[in-house]
Amino acid sequence: MVFPLETLEDIRLDIRPEHELLRRSVREFVEREAAPHANAIDERDEIPGELLAKAAQQGFFGVGIPEEYGGQGGDHVSVVVLSEEFCRRVPAISVVFGSNELFSLPILLYGTEDQKRKYLPPIARGEKFGAFAVTEPCCGSDVAGIQTTAERRGGRWVIRGRKIFISNADIADYIIVLARTYPPPDKKLRYLGLTFFVVEKGAQGLKVGSKFEKMGLRGSHINEVVLDDVEVPDENRVGEEGMGFVIAMETFDRTRIGVAAQAVGMAQYAFEKAFEYAHQRTAFGAPLAAFQAIQFDLVNMLAEVMAARYLTYLAAHLADQGKREFTYVASLAKFYATEVAERVISTAINVHGGVGVIRETGLERYLRDIKITQIYEGANNIQRLVAYRQLVRLLREKGVISDEVAARVT
Ligand SMILES: Cc1cc2nc3c(=O)[nH]c(=O)nc-3n(C[C@H](O)[C@H](O)[C@H](O)COP(=O)(O)OP(=O)(O)OC[C@H]3O[C@@H](n4cnc5c(N)ncnc54)[C@H](O)[C@@H]3O)c2cc1C
């Protein structure tokens, strides 16, 4: 019994040769082109434009976008590979990919054919950037509480509101914005009445405001986005009117797998650095690794990294198979991997002693970066809530728990 999954086959992964090929090509690119800039990106809070252009030449912006829209293919395992490998050395870059994915997924899932043909190919080629604007000063976790509104005027919509912490906003050509288009019918149905719209760069009334200075993932910026009566045609509406909350949740279900992969990449590198250092540094006349306490640290780190990676790839695999279990596995992977990574990075710093906290060593940056992965795209408490609720919903549908019990616990 593999409760809550059904059979042993459900815990199987399906990694194909093309995934390993992708991993190698990303690894080689990142080591050669990106890693040498990692500390400078953090210090200057800037990713060189030519580095993004080189990543575009490699086709990396097309990973996760189906071939028919100019991408490299839409499977989740490939997105995980890309995310893990970039985060192993330069986590900030993967936020640029991740924000593109946040923009593209609602269109892929619910957009019209015209929207897919218009917006996805330039994103896949790395010529244009996307951003996803949901969070507001009032509300982050409480998505249904947002106050931005969109009012219909003939065939157009007028959007008014203020978004904060929007990744990629300063480089985005397209921003997908969530706004309330009608009041919720009642308290229990607060999630109804929200709608997504694409707002293009240069739209009158759109202002990308100041950048927030943050502790980590420097190089990737978050900005305020002000929408002051921004008009868009109805063809910029993504999905059915009023269903934006559901679209946002279905998007997060998938993108949070990429966040788990970011954490796995960071933890992997911290483990590798600690392992190498413990075998090269001597203390009391022996390598650090000769001390059992250090050996225990190393194997504990490895066990956690491998478990986090498995959960992450399992979520991606289940999503690729179209299995609904992927949603709660994705939430488990997100909170588990991001918390494991914080522990692993912290232990790696301890194994390095004083060298661990020196900026040039490049480890303390990961501790600053990893904190953010526990917050964005659904803070970890919210992941726990989502995982539990989705699990109960599935088990109720399968008749494992009764409607009455399900209603009492969620
Ligand atoms: C670097 C960065 C990039 C970001 N990029 C984007 C972006 O591109 N687009 C975008 O729209 N947003 C973005 N965000 C915003 C991010 O999604 C929110 O910060 C996040 O969802 C949490 O919302 P909040 O900050 O309002 O925290 P709150 O919702 O105020 O939550 C604060 C704390 O309370 C906990 N909490 C809240 N409700 C509950 C509950 N019911 N039960 C238990 N605990 C609870 C949370 O887990 C959290 O720990 C970004 C944030 C950061 C830091």
120 in the same domain as 32: yes
> Which region, left, alpha or beta, applies to residue 204 given φ > 0 means left and ψ of -120 to 50 means alpha?
beta
**Same domain membership, residue 262 and residue 350:** yes
Tell me the CATH number at 69: 1.10.540.10
Please report, for the domain that includes residue 217, its CATH number: 2.40.110.10
209 closest CA partner among 230, 228, 224, 227 = 224
Q: What is the pLDDT of residue 1?
A: 62
Interacting residues of 179 by C-beta distance below 8 A, sequence separation 6+: 146, 148, 149, 150, 157, 159, 161, 194, 195, 197, 227, 244
Residues of the domain holding 378 = 246-409
The reply to whether 344 and 230 lie within a common domain is no
Mutate to test the pocket of ligand 1, among 132, 214, 376, 385 (most ligand atoms within 8 A of CB): 376
132 within ligand 1 shell (Cβ under 6 A): yes
Of 129, 164, 186, the residue at which a domain comes to its end is 129
Domain co-membership, 336 together with 350: yes
What does each of the 410 residues of the chain score in pLDDT, given as a tens digit?
Answer: 689 998 999 999 999 999 999 999 999 999 999 999 999 999 999 999 999 999 999 999 999 999 999 999 989 999 999 999 999 999 999 999 999 999 999 999 999 999 999 999 999 999 999 999 999 999 999 999 999 999 999 999 999 999 999 999 999 999 999 999 999 989 889 999 999 999 999 999 999 999 999 999 999 999 999 999 999 999 999 999 999 999 999 999 999 999 999 999 999 999 999 999 999 999 999 999 999 999 999 999 999 999 999 999 999 999 999 999 999 999 999 999 999 999 999 999 999 999 999 999 999 999 999 999 999 999 999 999 999 999 999 999 999 999 999 999 99
The answer as to whether 2 is a domain residue is no
Q: Which atom of ligand 1 is least distant from the CA of 220?
A: 1
Dist. CA 261–CA 77, nearest whole Å: 10
Q: What is the pLDDT of residues 227-271, one digit of tens each?
A: 999 999 999 999 999 999 999 999 999 999 999 999 999 999 999
In this structure, which residue's CA is closest to atom 49 in ligand 1? 379
pTM over 0.95: yes
* Residue 344 forms part of a structural domain: yes
User: Are residues 234 and 251 located together in one domain of the fold?
Assistant: no
Is the residue at 121 inside a domain?
A: yes
Whether residue 3 lies inside any domain: the answer is no
- Which of 198, 223, 242 terminates a domain? The answer is 242
Reported as type and span, the H/E element at residue 162 is strand 156-167
* The last residue of a domain, from among 200, 219, 242: 242
How far apart CA 30 and CA 90 sit, in angstroms, is 8
Active site residue 377: yes
Q: Is 205 left (phi over 0), alpha (psi -120 to 50) or beta?
A: left
User: Which of 99, 148, 259, 375 is the best mutation target for the ligand 1 pocket, counting ligand atoms within 8 Å of the beta carbon and taking the most?
Assistant: 375
User: Could you tell me if 124 and 181 lie in one domain?
Assistant: no
Catalytic residue among 151, 339, 377, 397: 377
Residue 79 lies in a domain: yes
What is the count of structural domains for the chain? 3
